[in-house]
């Protein structure tokens, strides 16, 4: 259940305010309800369909990652640091735009 909460939290954080996560809600992957302990807050939880999709994605992840590594054409560790620098630069640009 902890992984499910983490996944739902990741969706919420990525989506920002709930209107950004509305597509997940409307697609039936996530349900939204008020937090009984704090009525101002909404809690997201994966639906059965959301759990099935999450589990299928987890099962396919290792195969997908192997395919990505094959297409890299070099040691993944040598590619990782430049990708992290690119991510930091993109996040900085995003922060500057806000």
Digits of tens for pLDDT over the chain (98 positions)? 455 556 656 655 555 554 555 666 567 888 888 888 888 888 888 889 989 988 998 899 888 888 887 887 777 778 888 888 888 898 888 888 77
Burial 53-64 (b: 16+ CB within 10 A, else e): ebeeeeeeeeee
Residue 25 pLDDT: 57
**Does domain 2-71 match CATH 1.10.10.10?**
yes
Residue spans of the domains in the chain: they are 2-71
Residue 1 pLDDT: 46
User: The pTM is what?
Assistant: 0.48
Residue 23 pLDDT: 64
């Amino acid at each position: 259940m902890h992984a499910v909460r983490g996944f739902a939290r990741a969706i919420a954080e990525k989506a920002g305010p709930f209107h950004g996560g509305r597509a997940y809600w409307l697609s039936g992957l996530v349900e939204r309800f008020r937090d009984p302990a704090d009525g101002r807050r909404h809690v997201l939880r994966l639906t059965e369909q959301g759990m099935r999709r999450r589990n299928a994605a987890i099962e396919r992840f290792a195969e997908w990652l192997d395919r990505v590594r094959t297409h890299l054409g070099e040691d993944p560790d040598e590619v990782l640091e430049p990708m992290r620098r690119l991510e930091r630069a993109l996040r900085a640009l995003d922060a500057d735009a806000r």
